[in-house]
Copies of this chain bind each other. A is one copy, B any other.
Amino acid sequence: MADSTHLMFDHPDGEPVLVLQEEQSWKLLEHTSHGRLVVSPGGRVEIFPFNFAVQDRTLVMRTGPGNKLAGMAIDENVVVEADGILEDQAWSVVLRGRAHRVETEADLARAEELQLKPWVPTVKDFYVRIVPEEVSGRHFVFGEHPEPEH
């Protein structure tokens, strides 16, 4: 979980939800190492927990052959969510982008610098780079709930 204590989340007028600036969203992603990857090959939503690293405003992941890689091959459009949920507050960042396998030697060398370790060891694996198209984030301060009106 990201240590978000160094980030200022200044909610105007005690509003419970703060829409984050893109800069703040990237800071949170940079300080996080895992999230969830949503792929939707053929319209069927699949969601996987995964670990990633941020590199030059892209996300890099490493994965073996399997559903994640197959899903991204069928539909490169992916959504990534990362969050940090504490007792009294939470943040969530959602990134939409396109995933592609890292294939050129130069790009592979760049990805390897990150020293990413996938969760599941496999002999043959691939680097995937997710190029963002949209990044958004929200920060929540939990509060007392007024009595409902029914």
Contacts and interface: CB of A to CB of B under 8 A. Distances in A.
A78 to B, nearest CB: 9
**What copy number does this chain have within its complex?**
2
Nearest to A125: B148
A6 interface: no
Given A121-B143, A124-B148, A145-B118, A48 B92 contact: yes
Contacts of A43: 40, 43
Given A36-B83, A38-B38, A121 B45 contact: no
B145 A121 contact: yes
Interface residues of A, number: 37
Given A16-B119, A124-B148, A49 B83 contact: yes
Nearest to A84: B49
B108 A120 contact: no
Given A38-B38, A117-B145, A79 B124 contact: no
Contacts of A92: 48-49
A9 interface: no
A106 interface: no
A47 interface: yes
B124 A142 contact: no
Interface of A: 16-17, 34, 36, 38, 40, 43, 45, 47-49, 79, 81, 83, 85, 90, 92, 94, 108, 117-125, 140, 142-146, 148-150
